[in-house]
């Protein structure tokens, strides 16, 4: 009789448990994957980690929870950048013993392939670890349902757990509730190389669409202890969502709730992603507007007229009769239109703005569609409202003068191109102006005489990739003996590297061009030693100069000069002190320079050429532009060991540059 009473009591308790359980599964299941990825906006390889994690997610639908934790030095924002860190990330990362980024833990389990004896693994090991976890039975199931009240911004999360097995007797299970956010726009190093599909329009170059970003832990740093180790358990959590965290807005319609069960603060047994519902005011229509732009980008670099246009799509079945469209050219103020034409459910409309004139340089037009404040619409999918023309470059359609000088001074680090020039680079490689902040204050300008220079960071390139710096058109119609001179510095990684620096000239705004000079191989190598592993930064001794004859373009009104760096396995390449001008060799160097008379004798000569004063810099070139000799603070230059022929002497004194041909007989 006593046995029967006990049996009846057990049946009643079990029945009560099953009746109170509403949505968590009571059937035995295998573990789900909880992949915590440690990442940062300045981590160049982290976008590849995002791709690896997303592939695991996509290949195992419903069985993978991704949590991206911005932490560590790579997550520290620079001035003007968003801060994606939380108060929780550092402690989670520290217990993993990670030693490099991107790193990740799979269920915080200790696998054999760890970075430094902890639970953190490199991205190449995540897939293997995940496949192991999916084959293991879980002794507890967990599920959640969430609701966000749009008016009050209150998040309610109902969590249920059910033990289908017996946990180890020595552990305490903890319940963790994590608030994540998707489609967060921000900067990201390495995006173009490793995950270009995640690049979107926005204020940073590139602007990246961050996913699964940890924003808050509703249950605290290490979760809350479950009150028992068997049967069913449920709890409800509420959280008043603030407007932002560290200045980064909470987007209510892009939030995600993940729940997981751990043993203490380490081993994660299983997890789940919560369903999400919204409570909206009466009379409110939830809609989804998206945009695209089929804008016609100018086919010529000198075509500076464009007509902005945007296509708006209604992705719901509710007609939308009022909305706003806008475009933003570069960093200018948005230009907006309010549209009162109805877009039926599933329909679209195209809006054309007035034609505009583009400035010279790099341009980008960002488009946006949105609801009009005060209407009954709420656009609950905001990440598809924006589209972009992408970056495109414009040269001045008119010549900017008869000569031009560029020494790259006064520009911020990583400026892609100086004024009156554009950079054509299609692979996302680091090319642009370098300043001494990269070299602990040491100048990186030509011959150590200036602060800045222009750099191709060839370490980012793949073989054969190139980038071209193109200057605005010059007018040679009334000048003669034109030339371009510049300084360059380069280091090889190996003796067989075939990096190239090409000098290009175009007379039709670079629709076509000629390669008028190419420096490659050992001729390009200016550093005295190889730089096989560390980046090359030039000292004052690591520079050469060259003068290139442009006289074949005398009389041409539109002449554009370009500098193209082509990667062939070497280290960094630099240029500086560009001068495009009329060669003064048709006149005598005895012309007046800053109230001084400078004379050169004899010409022709058998051995030495003498000047009447001590000059700051004297350079001797052959007619191909190769630098043969260079003297500083001298009154002469020696030609005695050269073959008979014509050479070019170039002086640089008190900031004045002059050239003259000299004959050796």
Per-residue pLDDT reduced to its tens digit, 178-233: 999 999 999 999 998 899 999 987 788 889 999 999 999 999 999 999 999 999 99
CA dist 495 → 315, 456, 459, 461, 527 (Å): 58, 19, 16, 18, 12
- The model carries a pTM of 0.63
pLDDT, position 9 = 30
pLDDT, position 20 = 45
Tell me if domain 285-394 and domain 585-664 are identical in fold. yes
The three-class DSSP label of residue 411 is coil
pLDDT, position 597 = 65
Q: Is the pLDDT of residue 544 over 70?
A: yes
pLDDT, position 8 = 30
DSSP string, 73-118: GGG---TT------SSHHHHHHTTT--SSSEEEETT---SS-SSSS
The distance from CA 174 to its chain's CA centroid, rounded to whole angstroms, is 38
271-280 exposure pattern, b = at least 16 Cβ within 10 A, e = fewer: bbbbebeeee
What does the alpha-carbon distance between residue 577 and residue 625 come to, in Å, rounded to a whole number? 15
Query: Which of 297, 269, 245, 38 has its CA nearest to residue 142?
Result: 269
What does the alpha-carbon distance between residue 633 and residue 651 come to, in Å, rounded to a whole number? 11
Q: What DSSP designation does 343 have?
A: B
Total residue count of the chain as it appears in this document:
665
What does the alpha-carbon distance between residue 144 and residue 182 come to, in Å, rounded to a whole number? 18
Range in 47-51, 80-84, 491-495, 569-573 the model is least confident about: 491-495
Q: Is the pLDDT of residue 643 over 80?
A: yes
Please count the other Cβ atoms lying within 10 Å of the Cβ belonging to residue 162.
21
Pick the CATH number of 404-582 from 2.60.120.200, 3.40.50.620, 1.10.3720.10, 1.20.120.450: 2.60.120.200
Q: Is the pLDDT of residue 521 over 90?
A: no
For residues 574 and 558, is the Cβ–Cβ distance under 8 A? no
Q: Is the pLDDT of residue 21 over 80?
A: no
What does the alpha-carbon distance between residue 314 and residue 381 come to, in Å, rounded to a whole number? 11
Give 221's Cβ-side CA count (13 Å radius).
Answer: 10
pLDDT, position 54 = 97
Mean pLDDT of the chain: 89
What does the alpha-carbon distance between residue 289 and residue 295 come to, in Å, rounded to a whole number? 19
Q: Using alpha carbons only, what angle is made at residue 146 by residues 183 and 274, rounded to the nearest 5 degrees?
A: 65
Query: Which of 391, 196, 395 has its CA nearest to residue 297?
Result: 391
For residues 303 and 360, is the Cβ–Cβ distance under 8 A? no
Query: Which of 468, 467, 357, 471 has its CA nearest to residue 419?
Result: 471
Q: Is the pLDDT of residue 475 over 50?
A: yes
What does the alpha-carbon distance between residue 35 and residue 43 come to, in Å, rounded to a whole number? 18
For residues 137 and 32, is the Cβ–Cβ distance under 8 A? no
Q: Which is more confidently placed, 271 or 286? A: 271
Query: Which of 201, 203, 207, 202 has its CA nearest to residue 187?
Result: 207
Fold of the CATH domain 585-664: Immunoglobulin-like (2.60.40)
H or E segment to which residue 649 belongs: strand 645-653
Task: Band the pLDDT of 177: cuts 50, 70, 90.
Answer: very high
CA quadruple 613, 618, 621, 626: dihedral, nearest 10: 180
Helices (H), 135-213: 191-194
Q: Using alpha carbons only, what angle is made at residue 431 by residues 37 and 123, rounded to the nearest 5 degrees?
A: 20
For residues 369 and 376, is the Cβ–Cβ distance under 8 A? no
Mean pLDDT score, 336-357: 95
Task: Band the pLDDT of 4: cuts 50, 70, 90.
Answer: very low
Prior bond to 206 cis, omega within 30? yes
pLDDT, position 193 = 84
The distance from CA 234 to its chain's CA centroid, rounded to whole angstroms, is 44
Q: CA 276, 277, 279, 280 torsion: positive or negative?
A: positive
Mean pLDDT score, 403-424: 93
Query: Which of 47, 74, 81 has its CA nearest to residue 198?
Result: 47
Question: Facing residues of 181 across strands?
Answer: 213, 255
Give 403's Cβ-side CA count (13 Å radius).
Answer: 16
For residues 106 and 133, is the Cβ–Cβ distance under 8 A? yes
pLDDT digits 0-9 by tens, 24-77: 999 999 999 999 999 999 999 999 999 999 999 999 999 999 999 999 999 999
pLDDT, position 634 = 87
Q: Is the pLDDT of residue 266 over 90?
A: yes
pLDDT digits 0-9 by tens, 594-629: 445 677 788 788 888 888 888 888 888 886 677 888
Prior bond to 604 cis, omega within 30? yes
Q: If 0-12 CB within 10 Å is exposed, 13-18 middle and 19+ buried, where does residue 102 land?
A: buried
Q: Using alpha carbons only, what angle is made at residue 650 by residues 646 and 652, rounded to the nearest 5 degrees?
A: 170
Please count the other Cβ atoms lying within 10 Å of the Cβ belonging to residue 148.
21
Residue boundaries of the structural domains of the chain: 13-279, 285-394, 404-582, 585-664
Q: Which residue has the tokens 């008190």?
A: 654
Q: What DSSP designation does 246 have?
A: T
For residues 314 and 346, is the Cβ–Cβ distance under 8 A? yes
What does the alpha-carbon distance between residue 228 and residue 219 come to, in Å, rounded to a whole number? 17
Q: Using alpha carbons only, what angle is made at residue 139 by residues 138 and 144, rounded to the nearest 5 degrees?
A: 80
pLDDT, position 422 = 95
**13-279 under CATH 2.60.40.10, yes or no:** yes
H or E segment to which residue 5 belongs: helix 2-20
What does the alpha-carbon distance between residue 399 and residue 404 come to, in Å, rounded to a whole number? 11
Q: Any residues with CB less than 8 A from the CB of 336 and at least 6 apart, and which?
A: 324, 325, 326
What does the alpha-carbon distance between residue 518 and residue 12 come to, in Å, rounded to a whole number? 89
Question: Facing residues of 600 across strands?
Answer: 611
For domain 285-394, the CATH class is mainly beta
For residues 414 and 177, is the Cβ–Cβ distance under 8 A? no
Query: Which of 241, 100, 114 has its CA nearest to residue 179?
Result: 241
């Amino acid at each position: 009789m006593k046995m029967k009473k006990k049996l009846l009591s057990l049946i009643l308790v079990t029945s009560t448990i099953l009746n109170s359980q509403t949505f968590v599964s009571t059937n035995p299941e295998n573990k789900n994957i909880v992949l915590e990825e440690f990442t940062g906006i300045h981590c160049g390889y982290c976008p590849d980690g995002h791709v690896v994690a997303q592939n695991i997610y996509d290949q195992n639908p419903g069985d993978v929870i991704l949590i991206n934790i911005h932490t560590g030095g790579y997550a520290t924002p620079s001035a003007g950048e968003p801060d994606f860190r939380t108060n929780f990330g550092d402690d989670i990362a520290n217990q993993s013993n990670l030693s490099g980024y991107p790193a990740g833990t799979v269920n915080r389990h200790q696998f054999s392939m760890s970075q430094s004896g902890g639970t953190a693994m490199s991205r190449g090991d995540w897939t293997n670890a995940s496949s192991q976890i999916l084959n293991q039975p879980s002794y507890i199931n967990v599920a959640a349902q969430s609701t966000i009240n749009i008016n009050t911004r209150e998040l309610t999360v109902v969590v249920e757990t059910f033990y289908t097995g017996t946990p180890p007797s020595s552990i305490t299970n903890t319940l963790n509730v994590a608030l994540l956010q998707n489609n967060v726009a921000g900067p990201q190093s390495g995006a173009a190389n490793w995950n270009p599909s995640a690049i979107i329009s926005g204020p940073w170059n590139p602007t990246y669409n961050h996913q699964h970003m940890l924003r808050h832990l509703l249950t605290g740093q290490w979760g809350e202890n479950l009150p028992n180790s068997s049967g069913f358990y449920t709890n409800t959590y509420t959280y008043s969502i603030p407007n932002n965290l560290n200045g980064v807005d909470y987007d209510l319609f892009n939030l995600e709730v993940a729940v997981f069960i751990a043993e203490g603060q380490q081993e994660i047994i299983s997890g789940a992603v919560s369903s999400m519902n919204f409570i909206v005011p009466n009379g409110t229509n939830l809609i989804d507007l998206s945009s695209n732009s089929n804008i016609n980008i100018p086919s010529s670099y000198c075509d500076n007229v464009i007509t902005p246009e945007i296509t708006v799509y209604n992705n719901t079945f509710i007609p939308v009769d009022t909305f706003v469209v806008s475009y933003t050219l570069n960093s200018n103020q948005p230009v907006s239109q309010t549209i009162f034409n109805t877009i039926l459910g599933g329909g679209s409309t195209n809006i054309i703005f007035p034609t505009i004139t583009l400035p010279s340089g790099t341009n980008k037009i960002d488009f946006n569609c949105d609801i009009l404040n005060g209407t009954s619409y709420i656009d609950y999918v905001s990440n598809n409202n924006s589209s972009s023309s992408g970056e495109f470059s414009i040269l001045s359609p008119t010549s900017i003068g008869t000569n031009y000088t560029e020494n790259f001074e006064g520009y911020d680090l990583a400026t892609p191109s100086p004024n009156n020039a554009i950079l054509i680079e299609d692979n996302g490689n680091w090319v642009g102006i370098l300043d001494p902040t990269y070299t602990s204050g040491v100048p990186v300008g030509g011959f150590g005489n200036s602060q800045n220079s222009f750099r191709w960071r060839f370490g980012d390139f793949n073989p054969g990739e190139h980038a071209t710096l193109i200057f605005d058109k010059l007018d040679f119609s009334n000048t003669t003996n034109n030339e371009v001179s510049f300084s360059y510095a380069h280091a090889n990684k190996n003796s067989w590297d075939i990096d190239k620096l090409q000098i290009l000239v175009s007379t039709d705004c670079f629709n076509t061009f000629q390669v008028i000079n190419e420096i490659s191989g050992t001729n390009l190598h200016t550093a005295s030693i190889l730089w096989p592993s560390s980046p090359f930064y030039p000292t004052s001794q690591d520079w050469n100069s060259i003068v290139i004859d442009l006289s074949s373009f005398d009389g041409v009104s539109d002449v554009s000069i370009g500098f193209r760096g082509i990667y062939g396995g070497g280290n960094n390449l630099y240029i500086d002190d560009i001068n495009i001008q009329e060669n003064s060799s048709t006149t005598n160097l005895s012309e007046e320079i800053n109230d001084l008379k400078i004379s050169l004798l004899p010409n022709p000569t058998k051995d030495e050429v003498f000047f009447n004063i001590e000059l700051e810099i004297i350079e001797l070139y052959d007619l191909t532009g190769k630098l043969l000799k260079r003297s500083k603070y001298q009154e002469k230059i020696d030609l005695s060991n050269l073959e008979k022929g014509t050479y070019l002497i170039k002086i640089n004194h008190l900031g004045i540059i002059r050239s003259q041909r000299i004959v050796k007989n």
